[in-house]
C-alpha cells in the first residue's frame, strides 16, 4: 500500500497492519493453539493443523471477538451515541465486546500498542473519535479494560475494511503461530494427552445387602 502522495513510501496504515500481524501471531496456549498442538501431536498434517485452529478461532470468545467489537463501533455513528450503545448492552447483561481478558486484568498491552499506531496512521479520523468515546464511557463505568480485539476493530474501521476483516487478520497472523507450535509437536514425537479429574458429586454408596438365611 503506497501513501496517498504517491511517493512509494509505505502507508502508516500498513505499519499498523504489520504490527497487528506480529502481535497476534502467538499467545501462549490460547484455545486455538492448544487444539492445533493436539492435532499436530497426533501427526495431523499441517493443513489439518491449521483447519483445527481455524475451527476454534471462529468462536465469538476467541478470534471472532473482533467482529463483535466492529459491530459495537459501527453502532456508535457519532461519539455522542457511545453512552447509549454501552448502556444498552449493560442493561441487557451482555459483555462489552473488545473489553476484558482472562489473562490481562489491567489492560492488554497489545491493544495499547496497536491503538497508538492506528492513531498515528489517521489522526483526526472520525472513527477514532467514536473509538475514544467508547473508551471513555467504558472507563467511566469502570468496566474491564480494552483488549487487542477492540484495537483491531479500530484498525479495520479507520482503514475502511469490510466487516469481519479483523477476524481474517487474526486468523492469518495466528496461522504462523500454529505452525510453529506444530513443528515443536512433530519434533516431540508423542501424543499430547491431557487428563481429566472428576469434579462432580461423590458417587452414592451402594446399599448394604440384607443378610440371607
Q: Which residues are catalytic?
A: 101, 149
Q: CB count, 10 Å around CB of 180?
A: 13
Cell of 58: 471462529
DSSP assignment letter at 58? T
The dihedral built from the CA positions of residue 60, 65, 70 and 73, taken in this order, carries a sign that is positive
What is each CA distance from 30 to 12, 37, 142, in whole angstroms? 29, 10, 26
Place of cell 471513555: 136
C-alpha–C-alpha distance, residues 6 and 30, integer Å: 41
Extract the C-alpha cell encoding 143. 468496566
Straight-line distance from the first to the last Cα atom of the chain, in angstroms, rounded to the nearest whole number:
93
Check if the beta carbon of residue 25 is closer than 8 Å to that of residue 173.
yes
Amino acid at each position: 500500500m503506497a501513501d496517498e502522495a504517491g511517493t512509494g513510501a509505505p502507508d502508516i496504515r500498513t505499519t499498523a497492519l504489520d504490527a497487528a500481524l506480529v502481535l497476534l501471531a502467538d499467545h501462549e496456549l490460547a484455545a486455538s493453539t492448544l487444539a492445533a498442538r493436539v492435532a499436530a501431536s497426533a501427526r495431523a498434517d499441517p493443513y489439518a493443523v491449521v483447519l483445527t485452529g481455524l475451527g476454534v478461532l471462529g468462536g465469538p470468545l476467541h478470534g471472532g471477538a473482533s467482529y463483535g467489537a466492529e459491530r459495537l463501533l459501527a453502532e456508535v455513528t457519532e461519539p455522542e451515541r457511545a453512552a447509549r450503545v454501552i448502556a444498552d448492552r449493560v442493561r441487557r447483561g451482555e459483555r462489552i465486546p473488545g473489553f476484558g481478558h482472562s489473562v490481562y486484568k489491567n489492560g492488554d498491552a497489545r491493544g495499547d500498542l496497536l491503538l497508538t499506531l492506528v492513531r498515528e496512521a489517521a489522526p483526526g479520523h472520525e472513527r477514532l473519535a467514536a473509538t475514544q468515546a467508547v473508551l471513555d464511557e467504558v472507563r467511566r463505568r469502570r468496566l474491564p479494560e480494552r483488549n487487542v480485539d477492540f484495537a483491531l476493530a479500530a484498525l479495520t474501521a479507520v482503514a475502511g475494511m469490510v466487516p469481519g476483516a479483523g477476524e481474517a487478520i487474526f486468523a492469518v497472523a495466528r496461522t504462523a503461530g500454529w505452525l510453529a507450535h506444530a513443528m515443536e509437536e512433530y519434533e516431540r514425537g508423542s501424543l499430547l494427552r491431557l487428563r481429566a479429574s472428576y469434579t462432580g458429586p461423590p458417587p452414592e454408596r451402594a446399599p448394604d445387602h440384607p443378610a440371607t438365611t
